[in-house]
Every structure is written in C-alpha cells, then in structure tokens.
Amino acid sequence: MLIDEVVIEISAGKGGDGAVAFRREKYVDKGGPAGGNGGAGGSVLFVGYEGKNTLLDLRYQKHIKAKNGENGMAKSCHGKNSDDLIVKVPVGTIVYDNTTNLIIADLTENGQRAVIAKGGRGGRGNIHFATPRNTAPELAENGELGQKREVRVELKVLADVGLVGFPSVGKSTLISVVSACKPKI
C-alpha cells in the first residue's frame, strides 16, 4: 500500500524547570543557594532512510511527541537533557508547515537530518540568581515549551509509466478506472 501524503501534529519536549534549594551544612554559615538547572527538552528530527519507500508508518501516528527534560534538583544537580526523537522517513520526502504551506525540509539523501520541531530550553536554578545583595534568592525559571506544529509530509514518487495526450481527453479517468489510484480529475 503506497501512502504518499500524511498530515501529522508534531510536539517537541518542554524544558525542565529550575530548582529552588539551599545548602544545609552544619559548619557553613548561611549556606547559600543550591538549585540546579532544568534539562533541555527533546527535539523531533526526520532522517532520510533508503530502507523505506512509503509513509505508511506515519499514517496511523497522528501525533508525534518528544520527551520533556527533567527538572533541576537540590545540591546544584542539573536535570537530564531529553534525547531527540528520530523519525525515519523515505528518501525523497518533503515536509511542509501545514498552516503557512512553507517547506521545512526536503530530504533527498540517505542519512540527511532535519530538525522539524526544536525542544525547549531548561530553566535556570536559583544558583544563577545569587548576587552580593541577594545571597539567598527564592527564584528559579520555568522551562521553555518546545515547538508545536502541524506538518504535511509528502513523498516524491517517480512514475514507472507515463501517459501522454491532449488536454481533456480522459487520461485521468482512464487511470482511475484501470487502477486503484485516485488521480485529481
């Protein structure tokens, strides 16, 4: 079954939130801030792959979502960055933004990568907001949201046979009757 056009929604991961924490040590006077940064959210990447020749995998997968980054923790521990989500598509795939109809990526070579939705940046913990006047800030940033977009994925297909003739003589009608394809008439 040849599927050559699919509309899907893609969401990149949200960045992790920064932490508000303080050092608690017995012999350290006024311990100070110790909140770590949040991890970055995962991006969604499309990779051209010669082993595929149809978009059948994406037809039943209407929403693709990358994982979120982890939140920052106490003791200046940073949250883990999320891994990027890699989606293999056939070579010759064009990815359009469905709302603006602009081309996001044209994957023409095996192994070619394109970032379709970029993951959010992680928020900073309270260790970044310490100043000489404010040595114990109770402030941390939230992680940024990842990109969300609706994309139309098309596969460029080279025909094995061509049908040539004058305009309006029934070429498309003949093809629709003889085969299972649905040409635009």
3-state secondary structure of 141: coil
**46-91: pLDDT as tens digits:** 999 888 888 888 888 889 999 999 999 988 889 899 999 999 998 8
Phi-psi region of 29 (alpha: psi -120 to 50; beta: other; left: phi over 0): beta
Instruction: Specify which residues 105 forms β-bridges with.
Output: 95
The residue to which tokens 């932490």 are assigned: 19
- Please tell me the pTM assigned to this model: 0.77
* 119-167 tens-digit pLDDT: 999 999 988 888 888 888 888 999 999 999 999 998 887 666 777 888 8
